[in-house]
Amino acid sequence: MASTITKIPTKYLFMHLISSSPKPPVSRFFSTDTAENRNQKLERIADELLDLTKLERYDYSILFRLKLGLNRYGPSVSGVTSPSASSPGASASETKAAEKTAFDIKLEKFDAAAKIKIIKEVRSFTDLGLKEAKDLVEKVPVVVKKGVTKEDAEAIIKKLQELGATAVLE
């Protein structure tokens, strides 16, 4: 016995159920007047939700989850944060420094005798040619590498300092 299932849009199914039943059963908790008002209210809410833009629907879904207590992923993206989200003694600059994942390496100065070695080192961790690396090193102070992880940046700075250059992490 195979059964066939047809997909009927829920709006039509709901309207069919309302119109096909002779009268909703009267309960001791609500009368038929409130049931009809409730149906009209739900239809009005559904129509208003369908009229929202994508961004408004997204904001509404976040707000609705928060109201229901379903915010298991922390505060919403809209920037609203709870006071307990950060520690009471933490300042904004400390939280920014903690969140930073990409760093820049800035060459501040170097020993003139080690210029050629520094140019070679700059070429090794950048994709620059000899002339571009030379021009870059001669523009001291200058950022020689951007968007590096902290571990890689510290290794590069250590190499540059061994050659006689002063480099800092930004």
Q: Where are the domains of the chain?
A: 10-68, 98-169
The reported pLDDT for the residue numbered 55 is 87
CB proximity list for 157: less than 8 A, separation 6 or greater: 105, 167, 168, 169
The reported pLDDT for the residue numbered 84 is 47
SS3 label, residue 74: coil
What type of residue is 24?
P
Q: State yes or no: cis peptide before 141, omega within 30 of 0.
A: yes
* The Cα angle at residue 94 between residues 90 and 96, in degrees rounded to 5: 125
What is 98-169's CATH topology? Ribosomal Protein L30; Chain: A, (3.30.1390)
The reported pLDDT for the residue numbered 65 is 83
| Single pTM value for the model | 0.42
Low-confidence ranges of the chain (pLDDT < 70): 1-33, 71-99
CB proximity list for 49: less than 8 A, separation 6 or greater: 57, 60
Closest CA to 40 of 9, 67, 14, 13: 14
The predicted-structure confidence for 97-131, as pLDDT tens digits, reads as follows: 556 778 888 888 888 888 899 898 888 888 888 89
How far does CA 144 lie from the centroid of its chain? Answer: 29
The reported pLDDT for the residue numbered 112 is 84
